[in-house]
Protein backbone atom coordinates (compact mmCIF):
# COMPACT_ATOMS: atom_id res chain seq x y z
CA UNK A 1 0.00 0.00 0.00
CA UNK A 2 1.38 3.36 -1.03
CA UNK A 3 1.67 5.80 1.87
CA UNK A 4 3.09 9.28 2.24
CA UNK A 5 3.59 10.03 5.92
CA UNK A 6 4.32 13.67 6.68
CA UNK A 7 5.85 15.15 9.82
CA UNK A 8 3.90 16.96 12.51
CA UNK A 9 2.62 20.52 12.77
CA UNK A 10 5.16 23.32 12.95
CA UNK A 11 5.18 26.72 14.56
CA UNK A 12 7.80 29.17 13.38
CA UNK A 13 8.70 32.72 14.32
CA UNK A 14 8.70 35.34 11.57
CA UNK A 15 12.05 35.27 9.84
CA UNK A 16 12.82 31.69 10.86
CA UNK A 17 12.68 28.54 8.77
CA UNK A 18 11.05 25.12 8.96
CA UNK A 19 11.71 21.78 7.31
CA UNK A 20 8.89 19.34 6.67
CA UNK A 21 9.35 15.70 5.78
CA UNK A 22 7.35 13.24 3.69
CA UNK A 23 8.27 9.58 4.12
CA UNK A 24 7.21 7.33 1.27
CA UNK A 25 6.45 3.64 1.57
CA UNK A 26 4.82 0.93 -0.50
CA UNK A 27 6.64 1.76 -3.73
CA UNK A 28 10.12 2.44 -5.10
CA UNK A 29 10.83 6.01 -4.03
CA UNK A 30 13.14 6.80 -6.92
CA UNK A 31 10.60 5.75 -9.55
CA UNK A 32 8.28 8.71 -8.99
CA UNK A 33 8.62 12.46 -8.87
CA UNK A 34 7.28 14.12 -5.72
CA UNK A 35 5.30 17.35 -5.82
CA UNK A 36 4.59 19.80 -3.02
CA UNK A 37 1.36 21.78 -2.76
CA UNK A 38 0.39 24.67 -0.47
CA UNK A 39 -3.08 25.36 0.86
CA UNK A 40 -3.56 28.59 2.79
CA UNK A 41 -6.37 28.61 5.38
CA UNK A 42 -9.75 28.48 3.65
CA UNK A 43 -8.09 28.79 0.25
CA UNK A 44 -7.35 26.67 -2.78
CA UNK A 45 -4.34 24.63 -3.82
CA UNK A 46 -1.05 26.02 -5.13
CA UNK A 47 1.72 23.98 -6.69
CA UNK A 48 5.11 24.76 -5.16
CA UNK A 49 7.40 22.49 -7.16
CA UNK A 50 8.62 18.97 -7.73
CA UNK A 51 11.70 16.89 -7.12
CA UNK A 52 12.90 13.82 -8.94
CA UNK A 53 14.39 11.73 -6.10
CA UNK A 54 16.50 9.62 -8.44
CA UNK A 55 18.48 12.54 -9.86
CA UNK A 56 17.77 15.27 -7.32
CA UNK A 57 16.53 17.51 -10.09
CA UNK A 58 13.90 20.09 -9.18
CA UNK A 59 11.49 22.54 -10.73
CA UNK A 60 9.75 25.33 -8.87
CA UNK A 61 6.88 27.67 -9.42
CA UNK A 62 8.36 31.14 -9.88
CA UNK A 63 6.39 32.28 -6.85
CA UNK A 64 8.18 29.84 -4.55
CA UNK A 65 11.72 29.87 -5.99
CA UNK A 66 13.08 32.05 -3.20
CA UNK A 67 10.86 30.57 -0.50
CA UNK A 68 11.14 26.80 -0.79
CA UNK A 69 13.93 24.25 -1.25
CA UNK A 70 13.08 20.66 -2.13
CA UNK A 71 15.40 17.79 -1.29
CA UNK A 72 15.16 14.02 -1.07
CA UNK A 73 17.01 11.31 0.84
CA UNK A 74 16.86 8.07 -1.11
CA UNK A 75 18.33 6.05 1.77
CA UNK A 76 15.23 6.77 3.88
CA UNK A 77 12.73 7.30 1.03
CA UNK A 78 11.95 10.74 2.40
CA UNK A 79 11.29 14.00 0.62
CA UNK A 80 11.71 17.34 2.33
CA UNK A 81 10.61 20.91 1.86
CA UNK A 82 12.50 23.71 3.57
CA UNK A 83 10.71 27.03 3.90
CA UNK A 84 12.85 30.05 4.74
CA UNK A 85 12.32 33.60 5.97
CA UNK A 86 8.86 32.79 7.25
CA UNK A 87 6.12 35.42 7.16
CA UNK A 88 2.42 35.27 7.95
CA UNK A 89 1.86 34.51 4.26
CA UNK A 90 3.52 31.13 4.82
CA UNK A 91 0.90 30.02 7.35
CA UNK A 92 -0.70 27.13 5.49
CA UNK A 93 -0.98 23.38 5.14
CA UNK A 94 1.69 21.80 2.98
CA UNK A 95 1.08 18.53 1.16
CA UNK A 96 3.44 16.18 -0.59
CA UNK A 97 1.88 14.30 -3.47
CA UNK A 98 3.25 11.62 -5.77
CA UNK A 99 3.41 12.29 -9.47
CA UNK A 100 2.10 9.49 -11.65
CA UNK A 101 3.62 9.20 -15.10
CA UNK A 102 3.86 12.97 -15.57
CA UNK A 103 0.09 13.02 -15.92
CA UNK A 104 -1.46 13.59 -12.49
CA UNK A 105 -0.92 13.45 -8.75
CA UNK A 106 -2.18 10.21 -7.30
CA UNK A 107 -1.28 9.73 -3.64
CA UNK A 108 -1.17 12.57 -1.10
CA UNK A 109 0.33 12.96 2.33
CA UNK A 110 -1.95 13.99 5.18
CA UNK A 111 -0.62 17.53 5.14
CA UNK A 112 1.43 19.56 7.62
CA UNK A 113 0.08 22.73 9.15
CA UNK A 114 2.72 25.45 9.43
CA UNK A 115 1.83 28.40 11.62
CA UNK A 116 3.95 31.52 11.59
CA UNK A 117 3.53 33.45 14.78
CA UNK A 118 5.61 35.59 17.08
CA UNK B 1 0.87 30.31 -16.78
CA UNK B 2 -2.18 28.24 -17.65
CA UNK B 3 -5.33 29.44 -15.90
CA UNK B 4 -7.89 26.91 -14.75
CA UNK B 5 -11.31 28.49 -14.27
CA UNK B 6 -14.02 26.90 -12.18
CA UNK B 7 -16.78 29.46 -12.62
CA UNK B 8 -19.06 27.99 -9.96
CA UNK B 9 -17.72 28.63 -6.48
CA UNK B 10 -20.53 26.65 -4.88
CA UNK B 11 -23.33 24.36 -5.85
CA UNK B 12 -26.25 22.94 -3.92
CA UNK B 13 -28.13 19.90 -5.19
CA UNK B 14 -30.56 17.27 -3.97
CA UNK B 15 -29.79 13.65 -3.26
CA UNK B 16 -29.94 11.42 -6.33
CA UNK B 17 -29.70 14.48 -8.59
CA UNK B 18 -27.29 14.67 -11.51
CA UNK B 19 -24.53 17.22 -10.87
CA UNK B 20 -22.03 18.66 -13.33
CA UNK B 21 -18.98 20.69 -12.33
CA UNK B 22 -16.92 22.38 -15.02
CA UNK B 23 -13.37 23.64 -15.44
CA UNK B 24 -12.04 25.71 -18.32
CA UNK B 25 -8.36 25.75 -19.26
CA UNK B 26 -6.88 28.92 -20.76
CA UNK B 27 -5.11 26.89 -23.45
CA UNK B 28 -4.95 23.39 -24.82
CA UNK B 29 -3.75 20.95 -22.16
CA UNK B 30 -4.69 17.72 -23.89
CA UNK B 31 -5.54 15.01 -21.40
CA UNK B 32 -3.10 16.19 -18.71
CA UNK B 33 -6.02 16.95 -16.43
CA UNK B 34 -7.44 15.58 -13.21
CA UNK B 35 -10.30 16.09 -10.75
CA UNK B 36 -9.94 15.91 -6.97
CA UNK B 37 -12.36 15.93 -4.06
CA UNK B 38 -11.33 17.45 -0.77
CA UNK B 39 -13.21 17.09 2.49
CA UNK B 40 -12.60 19.39 5.50
CA UNK B 41 -9.29 18.70 7.20
CA UNK B 42 -8.32 16.04 4.68
CA UNK B 43 -5.97 15.85 1.75
CA UNK B 44 -7.38 15.91 -1.79
CA UNK B 45 -8.46 12.58 -3.25
CA UNK B 46 -8.02 11.72 -6.91
CA UNK B 47 -11.33 11.08 -8.66
CA UNK B 48 -10.64 11.32 -12.38
CA UNK B 49 -7.32 11.37 -14.22
CA UNK B 50 -6.40 11.90 -17.85
CA UNK B 51 -9.66 13.86 -18.13
CA UNK B 52 -11.90 10.81 -18.49
CA UNK B 53 -10.41 7.89 -16.54
CA UNK B 54 -11.91 6.88 -13.22
CA UNK B 55 -9.33 6.51 -10.45
CA UNK B 56 -9.07 3.23 -8.55
CA UNK B 57 -11.77 2.74 -5.94
CA UNK B 58 -13.89 5.68 -7.05
CA UNK B 59 -17.62 4.93 -7.51
CA UNK B 60 -18.83 4.65 -11.07
CA UNK B 61 -21.35 7.46 -10.54
CA UNK B 62 -18.39 9.81 -11.13
CA UNK B 63 -17.34 10.44 -14.70
CA UNK B 64 -15.21 12.95 -16.55
CA UNK B 65 -15.35 14.38 -20.03
CA UNK B 66 -13.43 16.80 -22.21
CA UNK B 67 -14.45 19.09 -25.03
CA UNK B 68 -11.44 21.04 -26.23
CA UNK B 69 -10.32 23.11 -23.26
CA UNK B 70 -13.54 22.56 -21.31
CA UNK B 71 -13.61 19.76 -18.79
CA UNK B 72 -16.57 18.40 -16.86
CA UNK B 73 -17.08 16.19 -13.85
CA UNK B 74 -20.44 14.50 -13.65
CA UNK B 75 -21.95 12.83 -10.62
CA UNK B 76 -24.84 10.75 -11.86
CA UNK B 77 -26.72 10.25 -8.58
CA UNK B 78 -25.62 12.57 -5.82
CA UNK B 79 -24.98 10.91 -2.45
CA UNK B 80 -24.45 12.47 0.99
CA UNK B 81 -20.78 11.46 0.97
CA UNK B 82 -20.16 13.47 -2.21
CA UNK B 83 -20.16 16.78 -0.35
CA UNK B 84 -16.84 18.57 -0.39
CA UNK B 85 -14.77 20.87 -2.55
CA UNK B 86 -13.88 19.76 -6.05
CA UNK B 87 -10.68 20.98 -7.69
CA UNK B 88 -9.35 20.55 -11.18
CA UNK B 89 -5.65 20.31 -11.99
CA UNK B 90 -3.65 20.82 -15.16
CA UNK B 91 -0.40 18.88 -15.22
CA UNK B 92 0.43 19.89 -18.81
CA UNK B 93 3.08 22.48 -18.11
CA UNK B 94 4.71 24.13 -15.13
CA UNK B 95 3.67 25.82 -13.03
CA UNK B 96 0.97 23.20 -12.61
CA UNK B 97 -2.24 24.95 -11.67
CA UNK B 98 -5.47 24.13 -9.90
CA UNK B 99 -8.91 25.60 -10.33
CA UNK B 100 -10.24 27.69 -7.47
CA UNK B 101 -12.60 24.92 -6.40
CA UNK B 102 -16.34 24.24 -6.43
CA UNK B 103 -17.99 23.54 -3.08
CA UNK B 104 -20.74 20.96 -3.38
CA UNK B 105 -23.46 20.78 -0.75
CA UNK B 106 -26.65 18.83 -0.32
CA UNK B 107 -29.94 20.77 -0.39
DSSP string, A11-32: EE-TT--EEEEEEEESS-GGGS
Name the pairing type of β-strands A46-52 and A57-60.
antiparallel
* Contact yes or no for A21/A7 (Cβ under 8 A): yes
What is the model's pLDDT at position B59? Answer: 97
A110:B97 CB<8 A: no
What is the model's pLDDT at position A17? Answer: 98
* Contact yes or no for B46/B38 (Cβ under 8 A): no
- What letter does residue B95 receive in the DSSP assignment? S
Find, among A3, A52, A7, A51, the residue nearest to A25 by Cα: A3
In this predicted model, what pLDDT tens digit does every residue of A73-114 receive, in sequence order?
999 999 999 999 999 999 999 999 999 988 999 999 999 999
A5 reaches B (C-beta below 8 A): no
B44 reaches A (C-beta below 8 A): yes
What is the model's pLDDT at position A5? Answer: 98
Burial class (CB in 10 A: 0-12, 13-18, 19+), B104: buried
Give the residue from chain B lying closest to A62, CA to CA. B95
pLDDT average, residue stretch B68-79: 97
B50 reaches A (C-beta below 8 A): yes
In this predicted model, what pLDDT tens digit does every residue of A17-59 receive, in sequence order?
999 999 999 999 999 999 999 999 999 999 999 999 999 999 9
A44:B94 CB<8 A: no
In this predicted model, what pLDDT tens digit does every residue of B39-54 receive, in sequence order?
999 999 999 999 999 9
For residue A102, the chain B residues in CB contact (below 8 A) are 32, 91
> How close A111 gets to chain B, by Cα (Å)?
7
* Contact yes or no for B19/B8 (Cβ under 8 A): no
Q: How far apart, in Å, are the Cα atoms of B88 and each of A43, B72, B85?
A: 14, 9, 10
CB atoms within 10 A of CB A52: 16
What is the model's pLDDT at position B14? Answer: 97
* Contact yes or no for B105/B23 (Cβ under 8 A): no
Cα–Cα distance measured from residue B9 to residue B56, given in angstroms and rounded to the nearest whole number: 27
Reported as a pLDDT band with limits 50, 70 and 90, residue B75 is: very high
Find, among B37, B60, B32, the residue nearest to B47 by Cα: B37
For residue A5, the chain B residues in CB contact (below 8 A) are none
Half-sphere exposure of B15 (CA within 13 A, CB side): 3
What is the model's pLDDT at position B62? Answer: 98
Cα–Cα distance measured from residue B106 to residue B18, given in angstroms and rounded to the nearest whole number: 12
B58 reaches A (C-beta below 8 A): no
Backbone angles phi, psi at B80, to 5 degrees: -55, -40
Residues B8, B9, B14, B16, CA torsion sign: positive
Amino acid sequence: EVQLQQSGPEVGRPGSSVKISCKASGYTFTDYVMNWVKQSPGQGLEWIGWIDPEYGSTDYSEKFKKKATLTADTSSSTAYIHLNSLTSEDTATYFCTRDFGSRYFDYWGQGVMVTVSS
Amino acid sequence: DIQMTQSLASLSASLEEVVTITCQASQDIGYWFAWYQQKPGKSPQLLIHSATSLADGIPSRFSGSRSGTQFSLKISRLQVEDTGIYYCLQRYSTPFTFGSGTKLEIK
